[in-house]
Structure 1
Amino acid sequence: MTAPADAAAASGSFAQLFQYKRWANQELLALGEASQAALPEDDHRLFVRILNHTYVVDRIFASHLQGLPQTGYAATNTDETPALPALRDAVRASDDWYLQYAGGLGADQLAEPVQFRFTDGDTGAMTRAEILNHVVVHGTYHRGAAGRILAGHAVPLPRDSLTTFLHRLQPERRWS
């Protein structure tokens, strides 16, 4: 059995990563919304679709973590492209859910295997910790892809790295 301090550390680490994910998502979505006029329509649509894909995948894995059906998603993106303000709100709610969920898990729960079915019908199994890691890393990858669309149109990108987040959250980390 894992010591309570280890369980708290594991849960706290995931909570911190999901705080970061929520912050980075909101930074990029707000920038995308503010920069819509700088993007050709096709690039704006692609920007939104990339971030919608991460949202859909987040929701699919949230269903897996809860042992629920796949929340009605038959694929890893939707046919319709949502409006960016609606997507921003949905992503925020999803990120809030993950932050609460991840912060409430103990080490034993993080190690539990979860069996599920992918949208293509194939089966899989991952531990809760592996799923949470996947959700964080997957989102980071796609935020980078969406950011490249903005950069291609001379939109300055947010400083949305984990190091920036940590130092904004705890300015005392800076030393002279």
Structure 2
Amino acid sequence: METIRNMFKHLHWANQRILETLEINTEVDKQIINLFSHVLLAEQVWFTRLKGLDSASLPIWEEIRIEACAELVKQNHLNYKDYLNGVTENKLEQIVSYRNSKGQEFKNSVGEILTHVGLHGQYHRGQINLLLRKNQIEPINVDFITFKR
């Protein structure tokens, strides 16, 4: 559980760093904002699924303003922080049934879903950094080891 909690502390730290950069650099390529909003919306969708609720009406890809991204960063952090406080090692093995955005049913363990959320965001933050560099903006170091230092 400690590893997963550390992943989510890192996730929030990395999201904050991306958000701060995007708040300062207001004239960035829309694709950057779209990727960042996708990360945040996906975090929201997966949290909804972990809670056993229907996520079908929640968007995964939607262009949202940076102010809405800021609110999602905050809300997702609070949601996962509270959720993780109640997760034990045994709960990590609990199976969650959910439907994806196409209506297909899947089952994964809580641990698998939490791991996916952490890795998914890091993948897209790498894409965001590539696009920032293409826009002559210094990429943001969101490496886990930098966070731990």
Q: TM-score range by the shorter chain?
A: over 0.9
Verify the 8 A CA contact 2:56 2:103 in the aligned structure 1.
no
Residue 61 of structure 2 corresponds to: 77
Rounded Cα–Cα distance in structure 2 between residues aligned with 1:71 and 1:122:
10
Residue-pair matches, total? 149
Residue 61 in 1 paired to residue 46 in 2? yes
Equivalent position to 1:132, from 111, 114, 134: 114
Q: State the Cα distance separating 1:70 from its structure 2 match.
A: 1.0
Runs of 5+ in structure 2 lacking a partner?
Answer: none
Residue 32 of structure 2 corresponds to: 47
Rounded Cα–Cα distance in structure 2 between residues aligned with 1:72 and 1:110:
26
Verify the 8 A CA contact 2:95 2:107 in the aligned structure 1.
yes
Percent identity between the two aligned chains: 23
Rounded Cα–Cα distance in structure 2 between residues aligned with 1:161 and 1:36:
24
Q: State the Cα distance separating 1:132 from its structure 2 match.
A: 0.2
Residue 90 in 1 paired to residue 75 in 2? no
Rounded Cα–Cα distance in structure 1 between residues aligned with 2:129 and 2:101:
26
Larger Rg belongs to: 1
Report 1:8-23 matches (<5 A). Answer: 10=1, 12-23=2-13
Q: State the Cα distance separating 1:158 from its structure 2 match.
A: 2.0
Equivalent position to 2:140, from 136, 158, 163: 158
Residue 92 of structure 2 corresponds to: 110
Question: What is the identity, as a one-letter code, of the residue corresponding to 1:130?
Answer: E
Show structure 1 runs of 4+ deviating over 2 A. Answer: none
For residues 100-132 of structure 1, the C-alpha deviation after alignment (integer angstroms, 9 at most, x for no partner) is 312321011011010110011111111000000
Name the stretch that deviates more: 98-107 or 112-121.
Answer: 98-107
Runs of 5+ in structure 1 lacking a partner?
Answer: 1-9, 168-176
Q: State the Cα distance separating 1:71 from its structure 2 match.
A: 6.7
Rounded Cα–Cα distance in structure 1 between residues aligned with 2:60 and 2:49:
14
- Given the two structures, how large is their TM-score scaled by the length of structure 2? 0.93
Verify the 8 A CA contact 2:54 2:98 in the aligned structure 1.
no
- Given the two structures, how large is their TM-score scaled by the length of structure 1? 0.79
Verify the 8 A CA contact 1:115 1:126 in the aligned structure 2.
yes
Secondary structure at 2:90 match in 1: helix
Secondary structure at 1:107 match in 2: coil
